[in-house]
């Protein structure tokens, strides 16, 4: 009987581990590395939007704003199914007056109860 209980416990642990495995949550450092390789500074808004669309990253359109500056906002959502608190990453692309990328900021924020 104790062998059966041990096997059953091992089986349940394996099933729970497999169910908990899903897409990895977004990681700010990985995102920054990917952006540095794919979206160089001085890129145009069209190039940034093309990259975001190709990567299937949720994003705004290019926004011209006299107070906040020219920008594009993007969001990479945590796709995990079993986390109570999820980690999303926001990306803010800033452009100069000549519509050239001058910086981007990646920030993690948490959602949940």
Residue 3 has pLDDT above 70, yes or no: no
**Which tokens hold the place of 48?**
């940034």
**pLDDT tens-place string over residues 26-84:** 888 999 999 999 999 999 999 999 999 999 999 999 999 989 999 999 999 998 888 88
Using DSSP's 3-state secondary structure scheme, residue 79 falls into: coil
Burial of 76 (0-12, 13-18, 19+ CB in 10 A): buried
- Tell me which long-range contacts 39-42 makes (C-beta under 8 A, separation of at least 24): 39/93, 39/101, 39/104, 40/101, 41/100, 41/101, 41/102, 41/103, 42/100, 42/101
pTM score, two decimals? 0.75
């Amino acid at each position: 009987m104790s062998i059966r209980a041990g096997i059953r416990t091992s089986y349940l642990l394996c099933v729970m581990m497999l169910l908990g495995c899903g897409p990895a949550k977004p990681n700010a450092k990985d995102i920054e590395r990917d952006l540095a390789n794919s979206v160089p500074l001085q890129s145009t808004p069209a190039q940034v939007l093309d990259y975001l669309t190709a990567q299937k990253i949720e994003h705004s359109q290019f926004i011209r704003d006299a107070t906040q500056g020219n920008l594009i906002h993007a969001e990479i959502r945590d796709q995990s199914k079993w986390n109570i608190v999820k980690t999303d990453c926001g990306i803010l692309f800033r452009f100069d007056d000549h519509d050239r990328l001058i910086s981007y900021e990646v920030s993690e924020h948490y959602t949940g109860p």
